[in-house]
Chain A
Amino acid sequence: MKAEDDLAANCAHFAMCSRVWYKSSTPSSNTIGLILLKALLSYNYNIKNKDLFVLTYGALVAQLCKDYEKDEDVNKYLDKMGYGIGTRLIEDFLARSCVRRCHSYSEITDIIAQVAFKMYLGITPSVACRNSSRNEFSLILDKNPLVEFVEELPAGRSSLCYCNLLCGIIRGALEMVHLTADVTFLQDRLKGDSVTEIGITFLKKLEEKRYRRKK
């Protein structure tokens, strides 16, 4: 299958580009000390903590593309793995963030965007509410570190939701705090859309609905 090779090639291509960029800057002094210092400084700049996660994720997607022919199967698998991660990540998140109790889906979505995404991925998606009953929300990702090394989807993989792990993570984490939600990608820049948008639909429990109606 060529698909996963393309993905790996993309990975290596971007990594190579950053090395070429470094090479083009010339050291101002010939002393070994300065060269070493400059190299170490650039080195620290060249590899970020996040890179390990992003590159590993890329390798995982490539492996899954090798194992599964259909995009839907890869997407499902990524979502399933994300779910497993989410159920464990929530504990880590609550320990680090000390968030207070939320009183609305809107507050929860804000926390996902402004605290969780910021903490783990270093980005803050913007939040939009999609309906009047205020249980459908969108996270709009302007930047997405997961796709830093991915220019485009590999050939023959046009339905691949590259970042589907994120949907599973959100879904799993929410379930651990007794909230059920549907989380999917509504738009994806990798598929040619103008933005990347994650839709979160909080599913109301029946008892809650009855309670609300009574009011």
Chain B
Amino acid sequence: MRVRSAGRGGAPGARGPGMADTALFEFLLTEMVAELWARDRDPDPGPRGQKTSLSALEGMGFRVGQALGERLPRELPAFREELDALKFLCKDLWAALFQKQMDSLRTNHQGTYVLQDNSFPLLVRMASGVQYVDEAPKFLAFPCGLLRGALSTLGIRSLVTASVTTLPACKFQVVIQKS
């Protein structure tokens, strides 16, 4: 059995114990995607069935994002501005969860933010390139929920969607909801 080392570098054993922490999460998420997808195979498969799985995954991501958001320090004066909250998520939350920061954050200064990750760890295991682009949204539903949940504990209501052009790069679009 050949060992897949795409994106993680190097020979077997070179990965080190630190990486094992996220490995378990990745395995769990992959299994959750596979299981939820299989369960939604009702007699009328199609967009509706897919939508249920995606929203279930997104909902779970949301709860986890909320719980994680609760542990972020909120006393920083930096959080008074929306943009700083987004920056904090891009740098600190992302780094704590995925050992890397978001690669870019853009905004139109009117409540829409685009967060780009050129090498999103959850997508790196899938082959690089365009063949598995259709599968990618299933893995992005959970991180979308994560971002939405973390933002909600920072007092910001949002809608988060994601898109993939070329694996393993992806973009998260955050649209702030004004109540």
Contacts and interface: CB of A to CB of B under 8 A. Distances in A.
Interface of A: 8, 11-12, 15-16, 18-19, 22-23, 32, 35-36, 39-40, 42-44, 46-53, 55-60, 62-63, 77, 80-81, 84-85, 88-89, 91-92, 94-98, 119-122, 149, 165
B9 to A, nearest CB: 12
- What is the size category of the interface that chain B forms with chain A? 35 or more
Interface string B1-40: 1011100000011011110111111011111101100000
A94 B68 CA distance: 31
Contacts of B99: 49
Interface in B135-179: 142
Given A47-B96, A49-B22, A63 B17 contact: no
A91 B1 contact: yes
Nearest to A176: B1
7 contacts: A43-B72, A49-B22, A53-B22, A57-B28, A59-B61, A91-B1, A91-B4
B44 interface: no
Contact of A63 (B13, B18, B56): B56
Output the residue of A11, A49, A149 with the most chain B CB within 10 A: A49
A52 B25 contact: yes
A44 B96 CA distance: 7
A15 B28 contact: no
B92 to A, nearest CB: 6
B179 to A, nearest CB: 22
B31 A81 contact: yes
A57 B28 CA distance: 8
A119 B17 CA distance: 6
A119 B20 contact: yes
Contacts of A50: 21, 24
A147 to B, nearest CB: 15
A56 B28 contact: yes
Contact of B31 (A8, A63, A84): A84
Interface string B61-74: 10110111011111
Contacts of A84: 31, 34-35
Given A96-B13, A122-B21, 7 more contacts: A19-B74, A48-B21, A58-B64, A59-B64, A60-B60, A119-B17, A119-B20
Contact of B3 (A22, A39, A95): A95
Contacts of A36: 76, 78
Contact of B13 (A18, A91, A97): A97
B22 A52 contact: yes
B67 A11 contact: yes
B75 interface: yes
Contact of A12 (B5, B60, B66): B66
B64 A55 contact: yes
Nearest to A98: B13
B71 A18 contact: yes
Given A49-B22, A52-B25, A39 B75 contact: yes
B116 to A, nearest CB: 21
A81 B66 CA distance: 25
Contacts of B70: 12, 15-16, 18-19
The 3 A-B residue pairs whose C-beta atoms are closest, nearest first, are A49-B21, A15-B70, A95-B12
B95 to A, nearest CB: 9
A53 B63 contact: no
A32 B77 contact: yes
A53 B96 contact: no
B97 interface: yes
